[in-house]
Amino acid sequence: MATRVGGAFCVLLALALLAGSGAAMAQGDHDPYAGPRRALVAELRAMADARAGGRARIDAATLKLIERVPRHEYVPEAQRRHAYRNRPLGIGHGQTISQPYIVALMTTLARPGEGQRILEIGTGSGYQAAVLAESGAQVYSIEIIEPLARRAAQVLREQGQDNVVTRIGDGYYGWQEHAPFDAIVVTAAASSIPPPLVEQLKPGGRMVIPVGAAFMTQNLMLVEKDDDGRVRTRQILPVRFVPLTREAE
């Protein structure tokens, strides 16, 4: 539920979309979104190459996940024509589906893999959960806004994402029944890192979370817990996320 703060790649995207769409038609591709999806991956790959070696890089394994997950299935019908643009899109209730670059970056930082257990805070559209699950990880995702949670659960089922379990609730407290987690991905900005999430992170685990004031520029943080339980944090890059919604106390 975020956008990257910084320069745009509009020219590259426009060229890539045209090239990708042409390739899809030339090949007689029956999926009208196949070309735009390949073009998006090409744009992300170009961005990854430009940032190679930096904290905001995207790895090749993540690009393969992005290429396999149909983003257009996770956005409202009215937004489908924009599904493969590298930008956030509204999904209702004041929420967004995150910019693909941010989804790819957070996935790279989380390092999902076969057999891992991953907690996601903020199911939103279900797209980030689907990308994580595509790695073979078991994903537990919490969404506090009931209509979004129900729609995401339905779409994930329809897309065959059987290794995603969703729940309606306040993600601040995590999901103790399934802890500890190899990775935790938070898709809304918290004013500080929630202690319950740190506690539920497995030794050797990683948490990716935006931290900062609501509707202001925040910082995407990587939280790492070593094998002895010591925690360290690293700032990755400035971002802008919707705020983490909490239940009324």
Residues annotated catalytic, as ranges: 98
Query: For 192-211, b where at least 16 C-beta lie within 10 A, e where not — what string?
Result: eebeebbebbbeebbbbbbb
Identify the three-state secondary structure at position 59: coil
Between the CA of residue 154 and those of 38, 86, 125, 157, what are the distances in Å? 26, 25, 10, 5
Query: Pairing relation of β-strands 231-241 and 181-186?
Result: unpaired
Phi, psi of 38 (to 5 degrees): -65, -40
Owner of token pair 């929630």: 194
Task: For residue 77, give both structure tokens.
Answer: 């019908």
Between the CA of residue 42 and those of 61, 63, 182, 245, what are the distances in Å? 14, 9, 29, 34
Could you say which DSSP state residue 77 is in?
G
Cβ neighbours for 95, distance < 8 A, ≥ 6 positions apart? 1, 124, 145, 148, 242
